[in-house]
């Protein structure tokens, strides 16, 4: 395994862990602040939009590198 493959695998694993950890933080924040159903949905929607944007950017960069 060379350094490039290791870096790619490590980034995938650690980014996934970071996203899950951020989800737990938002869940805990919603619970402690008693945000209710609507507030919790709003918090996760905003976080989800950021995650989806990051994934879309990564996919587009990979597609453009192939072309």
Please provide the average confidence, as pLDDT, over all residues in the chain.
Answer: 91
Distance of CA 39 to the CA centre of its chain: 19
Read off the pLDDT of residues 13-33 as tens digits, 9 standing for 90 and up. Answer: 998 899 899 999 999 999 999
**pLDDT above 90: residue 42:** yes
Provide the angle, in degrees to the nearest 10, between the axes of the packed helices 36-66 and 3-32: 160
Q: What is the spatial distance between Cα 56 and Cα 37, in angstroms, rounded to a whole number?
A: 28
């Amino acid at each position: 395994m060379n350094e490039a493959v290791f870096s790619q695998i490590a980034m995938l694993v650690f980014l996934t862990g970071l996203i899950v950890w951020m989800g737990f933080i938002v869940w805990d924040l919603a619970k402690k602040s008693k945000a209710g159903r609507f507030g919790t949905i709003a918090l996760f929607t905003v976080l989800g939009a950021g995650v989806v944007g990051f994934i879309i950017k990564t996919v587009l960069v990979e597609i453009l590198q192939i072309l």
